[in-house]
Amino acid sequence: SPAQVSNISKQMIPKVEAYHKRKLSDKFFCVYLDATYVSLRRETFERETVYIAIGIKPNGHKEVIDYCIAPNENILVHVMRNICAKVRVEDREAIMNEFKQIHQQANKAAAVDVLHAFYAKWDKSYNHVIRNLKDIEPDLLVFYNYPKQIRASIYSTNMIESFNNVIKRKAKPKAEFPTEQSLDTFIGIQ
């Protein structure tokens, strides 16, 4: 019944608060940050941003480090989606296939060569895209600083996107959350 669900949720509030305040005992080899949107009723019906941090421990174990609810997502960069959105449809497949080659190189030096060839080829047609990529080039290639076995999990957001999808799928039947506390508790339970 709705009353039972409410009572169970109230019992979870201290556990969720303890989760947010817990001391992290392990070191993380890699940390992912991303956001997803969930409906929340404030003064009006809003889609709230839920920022999520997931870490990979040195033993390969993945853990949700924490999450936080905020009004909007404004600093996250999804490079490949941004590129697709800024190029002509007829060029997308070629551009994306060439851009993906940056992630397939044996080492960082080879990746830099591929990236610079990409710049040279597409700069005339898409100067604004290339300029943006040059601005974030060190961040684009940072995954080459890690062992080859985990590189794909670093440059890909698949792991955190799948977690976001679980949150969205389980939140969908609720339509919207009446309070931030109810949303926080729901995510904590997940």
Helix crossing, 89-100 with 108-122: angle to 10°?
Answer: 160
- For the chain, the domain total comes to 2
Q: Please tell me the distance from the alpha carbon of residue 51 to that of residue 73, in angstroms, as a whole number.
A: 8
Do 63 and 93 lie in one domain? The reply is no
Print the domain residue range for 84. Answer: 79-151
Do 136 and 175 lie in one domain? The reply is no
pTM of this prediction? 0.51
- Which pLDDT belongs to residue 180? 75
Question: 27-38 pLDDT, tens per residue?
Answer: 888 888 887 877
**With the CA atoms of 47, 169, 14 and 46 taken in that order, what torsion angle do they form, in degrees rounded to the nearest 10?**
10
Residue 132 in this model has a pLDDT that exceeds 70: yes
Do 86 and 144 lie in one domain? The reply is yes
Do 166 and 145 lie in one domain? The reply is no
- Which pLDDT belongs to residue 104? 86
- Asked if residue 167 lies in contact with residue 36, where contact means CB atoms within 8 angstroms, the answer is yes
DSSP state of 59: T
Do 141 and 167 lie in one domain? The reply is no
Do 69 and 93 lie in one domain? The reply is no
Least confident of 37-51, 108-122, 134-148: 37-51
Do 164 and 147 lie in one domain? The reply is no
Do 83 and 147 lie in one domain? The reply is yes
Do 185 and 139 lie in one domain? The reply is no
Q: Please tell me the distance from the alpha carbon of residue 121 to that of residue 114, in angstroms, as a whole number.
A: 11
Question: 138-152 pLDDT, tens per residue?
Answer: 888 887 887 777 666
Question: 58-89 pLDDT, tens per residue?
Answer: 887 888 899 887 754 443 646 887 888 899 99
Do 123 and 175 lie in one domain? The reply is no
- Which pLDDT belongs to residue 73? 41
Mean pLDDT value across the chain: 81
Do 170 and 110 lie in one domain? The reply is no
